Structure 1
Amino acid sequence: MTERRQVALFVTCLVDTMRPRIGFASIAALEAAGCEVVVPAAQTCCGQPALNSGARRDAEALARQTIAVLEKYAHVVVPSGSCAGTIRVHYPEILAGDPEWGPRAEALAGRTWEILAFLDQVCGWRPEGVTLPVAAAYHDSCAGLRELGIKAQPRRLLAAIEALRLMPLAGEETCCGFGGTFCVKYPAISNAITEEKAQAIEASGADLLLAGDLGCLMNMAGKLHRQGSPVRVMHTVEVLAGMGAGPAIGEAE
């Protein structure tokens, strides 16, 4: 009998507060891929908002706290490219000068994965018996694409969904306008970027928009909803876990 991988799920603030369904879908997909999933109760924010806002000391404190909670696990999996990128890329940077925490940050970074990359690259998993007859478009979120190299992995996973057609999306690698605190600091620029993205999504002919970062998804879902678009929006792991027929982001649960 093959030993099950022990995985710590880092849920993220947005998933916890705005879309817990993504957390449950993550557990379902990881268990289907043969993992034993633990959700450490002491986890909090990864520190990304503080880091983006220039609050370096606060970001370092949250990094140390997160490392202490997660470092005992063989694998840490995150349903967010931006939060996974914070742990994997930025923790070693901001703690590089700390003789104790720098090496601990490096060690945790090497065991931290965005969930779609983990399911594809580490588990070699493909969903079985999942059918969703829709035309879907995929948006490559900036952090996942540029910090973690996530591009082909979600598309390989989605190719195993029966009846799902992946439509070409113009500007699929272009920012959606969210950018964490960017949308708060520069709302007019953010709105203009999101407007272009919404137009491209509508033009794709897709019924469903997918991505791997809830912040981006909420931003695009909000714009599409305000424009009266029928396009539904979901996190990719929800579809992979067989939850694609449920309520989309912005719809009543």
Structure 2
Amino acid sequence: MRVALMATCLTDTLYPHTARAVVTLLERLGCTVEFPLSQTCCGQMHFNTGYRDDATRLASRMNEVFDGYTAVVAPSGSCAAMVRDIYPKLPGVGEDLAHRMYELSEFLVDVLGVTDVGAYFPHRVTYHPTCHSLRMLGVGERPLQLLRAVRGIDLIELPAAESCCGFGGTFAVKNAETSSAMLSDKMRCVLNTGAEVLTAGDNSCLMHIGGGLSRLRTGVHTLHLADILASTEEDPWHVTQ
């Protein structure tokens, strides 16, 4: 299957190892993965802050960039939700890309039909379901199905897992006090699990939570779901204690 990777701005700029992990994982499962170099922002930030015309132009551009691919995969429930839910509502954008857009765990479970991707990750891990993946895409148990099949993993349930971490893009900037309070609650839940690693399907949320955990010197690491699923005995991710 010919698949396009929509890396997303945040991953491409700050977490390129996640994009590489997606390619490694999908190629291991038999996909031909391409990364269109002309891709830009999906327009979510512009849409959410009221710049609808700018968001529409970016959406139209993304339609052109990803034309012709059987499927487009993003390691982000947030950006995938923008394409799937918002693009069809923007004037002149249409639904073509929306119908071919998948969040990573959806693509693995629903399209490729796999839950055991051959991963090995011998660490104590807890999973945070991000708001867009949970509420807009409805990915449900898919990420957990994938994690449960990882060899060596000690997967611990996160208390109050469905509570927002407080990031929300510009929400964290415009409502800093509220965001910080929400982050504090989320970090408390993470620490109560005793996990070495917090994982999620969005690097944006991991950046927010990870920043807080790092400032407190908790020793808890954050790692995208793709990074864990790409890990194998031959090429493991080493989490420093």
> Which of 174, 186, 189 matches 2:178?
189
Cα deviations by residue, 1:87-108 (Å, 9 ceiling, x for unpaired): 111100123xx3xx32xxx121
Change (3 A) 1:69 1:206: same
* Residue 130 of structure 2: aligned partner: 141
Cα deviations by residue, 1:45-64 (Å, 9 ceiling, x for unpaired): 00011011010000001000
* Residue 220 of structure 2: aligned partner: 231
Kindly provide the amino acid, as one letter, of the partner of residue 88 in structure 2. Answer: P
**How many residues are treated as equivalent by the alignment?**
238
Separation in 2 of the partners of 1:74 and 1:53? 31
Secondary structure at 2:2 match in 1: strand
1:150 deviation in Å? 1.2
Separation in 1 of the partners of 2:132 and 2:98? 15
Show structure 1 runs of 5+ residues with no match. Answer: none
* Residue 11 of structure 2: aligned partner: 15
Show structure 2 runs of 5+ residues with no match. Answer: none
> Which of 182, 206, 213 matches 2:202?
213
Cα deviations by residue, 1:63-91 (Å, 9 ceiling, x for unpaired): 00001111211100001000011111110
Separation in 1 of the partners of 2:117 and 2:167? 33
- Pick which of 151-160 and 42-51 moved more: 151-160
* Residue 165 of structure 2: aligned partner: 176
- Pick which of 164-173 and 209-218 moved more: 164-173
* Residue 33 of structure 1: aligned partner: 29
Change (3 A) 1:195 1:244: farther
Kindly provide the amino acid, as one letter, of the partner of residue 176 in structure 1. Answer: C
Kindly provide the amino acid, as one letter, of the partner of residue 237 in structure 2. Answer: A
Secondary structure at 1:158 match in 2: helix
Secondary structure at 1:209 match in 2: strand
Instruction: Indicate yes or no: 2:116 matched with 1:119.
Output: no
Kindly provide the amino acid, as one letter, of the partner of residue 34 in structure 2. Answer: V
Separation in 1 of the partners of 2:202 and 2:42? 15
> Which of 56, 61, 83 matches 2:57?
61
> How big is the alpha-carbon RMSD for the aligned residues of Structure 1 and Structure 2?
1.6
1:127 deviation in Å? 4.3
Change (3 A) 1:244 1:227: farther
Separation in 1 of the partners of 2:67 and 2:118? 35
TM-score normalised by L of structure 1: 0.90
- Pick which of 85-94 and 121-130 moved more: 121-130
Instruction: Indicate yes or no: 2:88 matched with 1:92.
Output: yes
Is the CA contact 1:238–1:244 (under 8 Å) kept in the aligned structure 2? Answer: no
1:244 deviation in Å? 5.6
> Which of 42, 48, 69 matches 1:46?
42
Is the CA contact 1:22–1:235 (under 8 Å) kept in the aligned structure 2? Answer: yes
1:15 deviation in Å? 0.6
Separation in 1 of the partners of 2:144 and 2:82? 23
* Residue 245 of structure 1: aligned partner: 237
Is the CA contact 2:22–2:226 (under 8 Å) kept in the aligned structure 1? Answer: yes
Kindly provide the amino acid, as one letter, of the partner of residue 126 in structure 2. Answer: A
Is the CA contact 1:134–1:207 (under 8 Å) kept in the aligned structure 2? Answer: yes
Instruction: Indicate yes or no: 2:192 matched with 1:203.
Output: yes
Percent pairwise identity: 41
1:164 deviation in Å? 0.6
Secondary structure at 2:173 match in 1: helix
Separation in 1 of the partners of 2:201 and 2:134? 10
Separation in 2 of the partners of 1:62 and 1:114? 19
Change (3 A) 1:65 1:128: closer
